[in-house]
A and B are shown apart, each in its own frame.
Chain A
Amino acid sequence: MSDYGITGFGAYVPRLRLARAAIANAHGWMAPSLKGLAKGERSFASWDEDSITMAVEAARDCLAKQKRDSISGLTLASTTFPYADLQNSVIAAGALGLSAQAGTSDIGGSQRAGVAGLVQALRRGEGDHLFVAADRLHAKPASTMEMTYGAGAAAFRLGSEGVVARLLGAGSVLAQFVDHFRSSDVSYDYFWEERWIRDEGYAKLIPQAVKHALADAGLAIAEIQTLVLASPLKGAAGTIGKTLGFTGEIADGLDSAVGYTGLAHPLLMLAGALQTAKPGDRILTIGFGQGAEALILEVTDAVAEYAPKRGLAAVIADKIVTSDYLRMLSFYRGVELEWGMRGEAAGKAALTTLYRESYQLSAFVAGKCKACGFVQFPQLAYCVNPECRSPSGQFIAHPLTDEPAKVLTYTADWLSYYPAPPLHVGFVQFDIGARLLMETVDIGPEGIDTGTPLRVVFRIKEPDKIRSFNRYFWKTTPISKGV
């Protein structure tokens, strides 16, 4: 047993959900069997969300209003990183305003890497660490995966103080078992037959990993209260639970409202399980892929003291449901639509400027003038207050990411090129006095008006489609009522 463990947890699921019936209807002419899966909704990332932005949002949910200065490391896990050579976790660390001394690493390569990475980080037990997993899986149109996949992220803060769940034991097994794969240069997964994956893969490999983990923890399966087993295969968790002789609670697979979020999925389910767990509960979490990983955690009394900013249930409830299948397909670049000549704009970022201004752009850091108190973004050479005009050298850094804000002015722009028209743009007035023109995203059928409360979200500002480089910045989204 270790003093080191999970001290916080958070979740993110994109607000956008597609009714699965819309996917089945679109493909009914050639794949009528998809109708059998056409229940509920799947989450999908907006055009401006990727594994980095979702990871940042999950981490923000986890960190809530806690201080971040002591965080000494960030691990980002994904199989869908936007960059192959450019550390994705550094971009996330910048957005989260982590210390420049924080160690960062990207891990991935398998859907097992989420649980495996968390086990390794817990075993290392090094300092105040942030472990985040995110995936934005692409599925070929009309595939079963298009029905079952979703998008999302989960985040865990690890440390020795305020531990809400401690590591009891873990075990793993590796196997040359290729249930699916995706080569580096292709977009979609290639799958083998589900029955074989279930019977030869899950049913034989998972029990081996669980056996090692139970031995490591010195426990019997009867002493586990919750099983977290993520799978794109329907009913897999129940079947494996029986194989394991498990009689406790099987964590909700989030099929009806989210869909399978790849490497992040077991951790997303774990974040949900932790939120409802009682002190003393033991949770067994499984990761699968070229073998299996099993992690056993024990919930502590401190769980009552901790709350993520929103938590999984609220994140799932905060949704905009659409039946526009082509909207998702377009966001996932599965179809090339005619955007007109305005869509030809290049979007090249000056990397020199990006670096020079990162101190204020990355974590949305306004400057608070020591002389007059005005909070302002962007920070230029002199204070913007006409009565002050003091040099900005004395500004105090003041991030706007968690400041309350409202719509001052807005419009819905149908003329500009925008991948999710219309572009909602307008002045955001922060209660603290700062003001700037911002994009507002994920607006539901209720629309927005002057005075609508907003929160700040991390997104892709503009992709450079020619050079495949995203510039990231902060946008706003209306705060949904009741969630």
Chain B
Amino acid sequence: MASGIKDKVAIIGMGCSKFGERWDAGSEALLAEAFDEALADAGIGREQIEAAWFGSCIDSVNVGNSAIPASTALRLDGIPFSRMENMCATGTETLRGAAYAVASGAVDFALAIGVEKLKDTGYGGLPPAYKGTFNDLWLPLGSAPAGFAQLAAGYRGKYGVSREDLKRGLAHVSWKSHQNGVDSPKAHLRKPVAMETILNAPMIAEPLGLYDCCGVSDGAAAAIVTTPEIARALGKKDLVTIKAIQLSISSGIESTTNLWDGSYVRNTRAAATRAYTEAGITKPREQLSLMEVHDCFSITELVTMEDLFISKDGEAVTDVLDGFYDRDGGGIPCQVDGGLKCFGHPIGASGLRMAYENYTQLLGRAGKRQLSNPSLGLSHNLGGVPYLGIAAISILGLA
């Protein structure tokens, strides 16, 4: 029986670039911004890094294939450096690669770093994804919001929620994150947005309006990991360790059979179940201190609250409207840094950016948005689309 990753790996340094429309910086500069901060935080030298994982998703507007552009940008010479791409789970995947390398004993220090340069497309939103020569012949074209908007129809159908009630719940999800973004200096969008503005925004993919969609930004984030023993030997006191990293990927059940009702994300449930087991969490609603979930669209965050077993099935709208996920709502603060909503979603970086917020909060370094005594932070990514996708969950905690 495998024992899992819990407490076998410590994060000793993290970095996160300023996210936004970084007209001033290319992918290489963004990588350097995150890397410099992570190295300084870790207190080690570049030459001590023995293995690295580089996350980037969209070749056409980033640095192209392979890890060569990253190793060149960071001047990390001659070490094993792998490129990771697993859609929106890419950032978390780099952390998994680095963590497994350390946990296996293969290396003492490993780097996880990811970047995306979405603002080089020339338009808003993500570029249309290439689906492969076969799928392109039959799968409909559809934007990311169109994929996630399907959940709204499925959710309404299952629970009999009216369009209006669901829309109010969705609006609260976005409103709350924009409130949080105000105190988040590295976020892209830092202005509060009025509920009326959110409710009356132009439609992108029914029922998702403009403010139901996350920002589109450039950014990079990085983590340096080692063993808890080495971390302590380096003089680290408050140690953040990895409690769990789990992924779940579709095999076609949701999209090809009638075994799924369209109202939830099967992968999130599978990954969460395994992550809680790995981390030894039995009552997530009571035990988690904060969450950074994949709020690419408001409906995703809402459904995720049930898929992570925090809200009971069919009750997420009520919990959201009760403020359970607000920063000062007495429940589990969610998207304390503003989430994808305010940071945007530079895909290769997002998972690491979420881990960065959990790490920052756990170490008490979050400034105006600091929560009181957090001990466990969960981050969650959802790649692809809800019915044909990837869920990634990482849980960090104080050792």
Contact = CB atoms under 8 A, between A and B. Distances in A.
B1 interface: no
Interface stretch (A101-109, A218-226, A328-336, A374-382): A374-382
Q: Of residues A407, A415, A450, which shows the largest number of chain B Cβ atoms within 10 Å of its Cβ?
A: A415
A427 B206 contact: no
Interface stretch (A13-21, A170-178, A339-347): A339-347
B318 interface: no
B141 A361 contact: no
A435 B137 contact: no
Given A345-B128, A471-B137, A437 B205 contact: no
A181 interface: no
B139 interface: yes
Q: Of residues A380, A422, A427, which shows the largest number of chain B Cβ atoms within 10 Å of its Cβ?
A: A427
A371 interface: no
A413 B251 contact: no
Contacts of B258: 429, 433, 435
A475 to B, nearest CB: 8
A436 B146 CA distance: 15
A52 to B, nearest CB: 16
Contacts of A385: 257
Contacts of B138: 361, 378, 436, 461, 473
B387 A437 contact: yes
A416 B150 contact: no
A349 interface: yes
Contacts of B128: 342, 345, 416-417
Interface stretch (A117-125, A205-213, A350-358): A350-358
Interface in B279-297: none
Nearest to A366: B256
B123 interface: yes
B146 A416 contact: yes
B150 A427 contact: yes
Contacts of B251: 384, 386
Interface string A293-311: 0000000000000000000
Q: Of residues B140, B144, B251, which shows the largest number of chain A Cβ atoms within 10 Å of its Cβ?
A: B140
Contact of A415 (B137, B143, B257, B262): B143
A410 B137 CA distance: 20
Given A411-B206, A413-B146, A423-B146, A437 B141 contact: no
Nearest to B256: A384
Interface string A412-451: 1111111000110111010001111111000000000111
Interface string B197-224: 0000011111110000000000000000
Nearest to A438: B140
Contacts of B330: none
Nearest to B146: A413
A409 B122 contact: no
A411 to B, nearest CB: 4
Given A342-B128, A345-B128, A386-B251, A410 B143 contact: no
Contact of B137 (A341, A349, A451): A349
Q: Of residues B144, B146, B149, B252, which shows the largest number of chain A Cβ atoms within 10 Å of its Cβ?
A: B146
B46 interface: no
Contacts of B205: 411-415, 422
A284 to B, nearest CB: 45
B134 A353 contact: yes
A350 B257 CA distance: 27
A26 interface: no
Given A413-B149, A423-B146, A427-B262, A354 B257 contact: no
B133 A437 contact: no
A252 interface: no
A305 to B, nearest CB: 37
A408 interface: yes
A386 B153 contact: no
A216 interface: no
B277 interface: no
B139 A341 contact: no
A462 interface: yes
B257 A425 contact: no
Contacts of A408: 153-154, 157, 262
Contacts of A423: 140-142, 146
A380 B252 contact: yes
A439 B150 contact: no
B63 to A, nearest CB: 21
B323 interface: no
Given A386-B251, A410-B153, A435-B258, A462 B141 contact: yes
Contacts of A429: 258
Interface in B214-269: 251-253, 255-259, 262
B49 interface: no
A342 B156 CA distance: 30
Given A414-B203, A429-B258, A341 B121 contact: yes
Contact of A342 (B123, B153, B202, B204): B123
A341 to B, nearest CB: 5
Nearest to B126: A415
Given A376-B256, A433-B258, A461-B138, A409 B146 contact: no
A41 B203 CA distance: 31
B125 A415 contact: yes
Nearest to B121: A341
B167 to A, nearest CB: 14
Contact of B139 (A410, A411, A418, A437): A437
A286 B140 CA distance: 42
A482 to B, nearest CB: 25
A439 B140 contact: yes
B203 A433 contact: no
Contact of A353 (B122, B133, B149): B133
Contact of B157 (A378, A386, A413, A450): A450
B151 interface: yes
Given A341-B122, A385-B257, A450-B153, A425 B137 contact: no
A416 B134 contact: no
A350 B206 CA distance: 32
A378 to B, nearest CB: 7
A449 B156 CA distance: 11
B298 to A, nearest CB: 14
Contacts of A413: 142-143, 145-146, 149, 204-205
A473 B136 CA distance: 11
A378 B131 CA distance: 14
B157 A437 contact: no
17 contacts: A377-B256, A378-B134, A384-B253, A384-B257, A386-B251, A411-B150, A413-B145, A413-B205, A415-B145, A415-B204, A418-B141, A425-B140, A425-B141, A427-B262, A435-B256, A437-B142, A439-B140
Top 10 A-B residue pairs of the complex, sorted by shortest distance between their CB atoms: A411-B149, A413-B146, A350-B133, A409-B150, A415-B143, A353-B133, A409-B153, A439-B140, A450-B157, A412-B206
Interface of B: 121-123, 125, 128, 133-134, 136-146, 149-154, 156-157, 202-208, 251-253, 255-259, 262, 387
Given A409-B150, A425-B146, A433-B257, 20 more contacts: A342-B123, A350-B136, A353-B137, A378-B138, A385-B257, A408-B154, A408-B157, A408-B262, A410-B153, A411-B150, A411-B208, A414-B202, A415-B143, A433-B258, A435-B256, A435-B258, A436-B256, A450-B154, A450-B156, A451-B157
Interface of A: 340-342, 345, 349-350, 352-354, 357, 361, 374, 376-378, 380, 384-386, 407-418, 422-423, 425-427, 429, 433-439, 449-451, 461-462, 471, 473
